[in-house]
Amino acid sequence: MLFISAILFITIFNVESIEVSNNVCSIPSDFRFDCNPDDPSNKETCESRGCCWYPNKDDNGSPKCFFPTNYQGYVIKGIENRKNGVTVRLTRNSSSGLPQDVSNVNLEVIGLDNERVRIRFVDADASRFEVPMPFLNVSQSTINSPLYSIKINRDTGNLQVSRQSTGTSIFNVDLSKLIYANQFIQLSSLLVNNFLYGLGEHKDTFRKTIDGWKRYTLFAGGTNPTENINLYASYPFYLMIEPDNQAHGVFLLNSNAMDIITQPAPAITWRTIGGILDFFIFLGPTAPQVIRQNVNLIGRPVMQPYWSLGFHLCRYDYKSTNKTRETFFRNIQAGIPIETQWNDIDYMDRYNDFTVDPVNFAGLSDFVNELHSMRLHYVLIMDAGVSGSEPPGSYPPLDDGKKDDIFIKNKSGEIFLGRVWNFETTAFPDFTNPATLNYWTKQFIDLKNQVDYDGVWIDMNEPYNFHQIMPCPNNSYEYPPYTPGIQPLNNNTICMSCKQHGGLHYDVHSLFGLLETVATYEAVKNITGIRPFILSRSTFPSQGHYGSHWSGDIRSTWDFMKYSISNMLEFNIYGIPMIGSDICGFAGNTTEQLCMRWSSLGAFYPFSRNHNDFDTIEQDPVALGPKVVAATKYAVNLRYRLLPYLYTLFHEAHTKGDTVARPIFFEFPLDVNTYSIETSFMWGSGILIVPILEPDTKTVNAYFPEGFWYDFESLKLSVKSTGRYENITIDDDKIGVYARGGSIIPGYLVTAMSIADLSELPGYLFIFLDSSGQASGSWFSDDGQSIENIQNGEYTYSHCKASLNKISCDYENVFTANNFKIGGIMLVGVDKKPTSVLFNGTQIDSYFYSDENHALKIDSTEVFERLQSFNVDLSYN
């Protein structure tokens, strides 16, 4: 329901200068909100804005200039009820001190459904840039939700979105302290707790710190991951756990450069330099539900081709086809399954997109055909721009782009030229232009005729620009009144004044990677007719609906290995479950011990690839020796045995918006001990991954939530936990992989050297009973590559449950051409051998009981492959 306080009239004050008394400045430092974030920031400027000036003696990070309690930048002029919400008219009451204040702002509160509400702040008198999202599910409904209430107080200017059941204030803003100028918008909101996650992409922990003041700059940048620097993506989304363990989320749809400031009140300030404020609030009430609500808005993850879940090998600077082939086969011969071989930019002719070096990479096409004959795959890289200096008629990507007029232009209307890896100059396609798709598709068709690639890796697409060959003009777009992150916006990228079909680069910069992903996805889909695999460095909300991401140019250190888990968990809550980091690190030389442990962890990234830089030692497993080979073989083989389960998780992400790799607290929301754990993680609800993340040790103090936890390799019950830390030993060539009691996990008893070979083996349902002797789970399977298989009913999806006495599976849908077929059952946690086993009422004798691990193995490939609902009844003396 919508509640609005009833005040019959409003007085508007126009004040040029305000004197501020000391009592209205008596605000605890944790609750001070910045009134003068731009330059100059001094006592005179601050007080001219009607704000309080108080330099901090302890420099705790709180603002020197802050709003007094009686500040009224905007006042409510009127409120208009609508069927699906309300519009509040705000009028500027006093100058913010920033250029070009917006005089009239409309606050639009819009009900999307019972779980989501949208709050927009728009210029009432003029149109402003709004993000052209490729996918946005914004159907509207009347506001009549059992989850939330909305209150707008005309006296105080306070807006609150509260949870109905508890009264918890989820979104709590003082409208009078809104700043809304042409190139600066700021709004602050009080938070309800300090369990905050999101606000990426940064080299940071998964759980954000709110016990001090911290700024998160969001603006796509190509800097190597470094603390307190904006990285490749912009995700103005956070997840918050409330004091009673319920959860909510807030997403700001804005692509302009911004700073997000957290402070210990706790509170958050959103500060952007363009567009509008367009908030989506998700009511959960559980953390997984919040993620589903957000992902259903921005687009559920695309279904990945099955082969992409295998192990990938790459290196920048193999230098030749021969070296690529040699590296690949030496690891295959060592017994390491490699599903996909990759090449970085050294395969190109003079680093030009859509070319192949005719000398050093002669025979690349033959090598790729050889991979295909082994039923394996190949991925190559593509940079964000094409060479801008090739002679006319010699380089189709430049000639076609000029003819189609699809390149980004500078302020004067000329093709903007920078330089990425090309020898002279680079021209950048404008992916906001619809005509670019045909151009981009043509180039990939031409490339396909040279090399029969299976997937595409797009890089440098923030977009990065090594050199400003064309100087940027000196104007407010290049150098706005306030610059998030301090450094110039045009640092190592395209000039903000550049013109694109969708607007100035100033507004669409952070969309470049997403829109290139969309164009590449559509191009490859149109060319091949099957699921594309697209990996992108720069991303934006909706990325997961079209492609995947990796954590970029991380360093080969133990610290970065830990960060890779935080990054993986974070991108799962952004709806990009296909995420991973370069195993063993990209930049700098790894060590045998680091790579040994990282290879174990990296096998359990959803996207698993070993890759490193040109000026480092070779780090494929064989190059680093037998310890790394042993660790890689163990972990990759275990991963392959679990691929049917992993693929099922991707199906649930695709159809429901679920996470694949997830923080432990998603499964144990009442256990506060799990809220800060990011040194271990879960695959879905059923598998717990515990790596070693420190040098010179074989032990780790790992937290096991309440329940039974079985070692997946041995099937033995390892931990009966009431929710506690356990010291466990993990040998050099191992990693902790634990099945949760109560889970049914589809998988294999043995592994194979390729996913195609693996899919021909009989699959098993691994049933791990909980303390009450129960378990449940699902499994999904299809041909692994069709695009519309779900719409066409070309899949198998089964839901199973089990106890000591009965196992049953019901098929939601059945399809014969599957990549996983049930050949048996492994029932774990059985104290004794049954005296009889009936399958749909018929006695079967093909079962074996192990006293060592209390597991019952039931084999009957012919029976299970009938793909029908079944019941297994077990009797004991």
- Domain CATH number, residue 836: 2.60.40.1180
Task: Please state, for a pLDDT cut of 90, what percent of the chain lies above it.
Answer: 91
Of 259, 462, 620, 859, catalytic: 462
490, 496 contact by CB (below 8 A): yes
545, 300 contact by CB (below 8 A): yes
783, 530 contact by CB (below 8 A): no
Cα dihedral 82, 86, 90, 96 sign: negative
Q: Tell me the per-residue pLDDT of 649-660, one tens digit each, with 9 for 90 and over.
A: 999 999 999 999
**60 domain residue, yes or no:** yes
Mean pLDDT in residue range 453-474: 97
Token pair belonging to 89: 């008219």
User: Considering its fold, how many domains does the chain have in total?
Assistant: 2
Encoded amino acid at 84, one letter: N
Q: Which of 280, 298, 316 is the last residue of a domain?
A: 298
Question: Could you tell me the pLDDT band of residue 18, with boundaries at 50, 70 and 90?
Answer: very low
**685 domain residue, yes or no:** no
Q: Return the SS3 of 237.
A: strand
834, 856 contact by CB (below 8 A): yes
pLDDT of 117 > 90? The answer is yes
CA 395 – CA 417 distance, rounded (Å): 16
**665 domain residue, yes or no:** no
Q: Tell me the per-residue pLDDT of 40-79, one tens digit each, with 9 for 90 and over.
A: 999 999 999 999 999 876 677 899 999 999 999 999 999 9
**259 domain residue, yes or no:** yes
CA 744 – CA 778 distance, rounded (Å): 7
Q: Which of 298, 324, 340 is the last residue of a domain?
A: 298
**663 domain residue, yes or no:** no
Q: Is residue 278 flagged as an active site residue? A: no
CA 494 – CA 362 distance, rounded (Å): 34
Which pLDDT belongs to residue 24? 96
Range of lowest pLDDT (3-17, 513-527, 583-597): 3-17
Q: Tell me the per-residue pLDDT of 813-837, one tens digit each, with 9 for 90 and over.
A: 999 888 999 999 999 999 999 999 9
* Residue-number span of the structural domain to which 202 is assigned: 2-298
Torsion angle of C-alpha atoms 365, 367, 368, 372, degrees rounded to 10: 130
CATH of the domain at 134: 2.60.40.1760
Residue matched to tokens 């006093």: 94
Range of lowest pLDDT (50-59, 518-527, 595-604): 50-59
**416 domain residue, yes or no:** no
CA 716 – CA 850 distance, rounded (Å): 11
Which pLDDT belongs to residue 141? 59
- Calculate the average pLDDT of the chain: 94
CA 728 – CA 742 distance, rounded (Å): 22
Q: Is residue 760 flagged as an active site residue? A: no
Ramachandran angles phi, psi of 701, nearest 5°: -90, 95
Of 344, 430, 459, 652, catalytic: 459
**815 domain residue, yes or no:** yes
**751 domain residue, yes or no:** yes
Q: Which of 279, 298, 317 is the last residue of a domain?
A: 298
Q: How many residues does the chain have?
A: 877
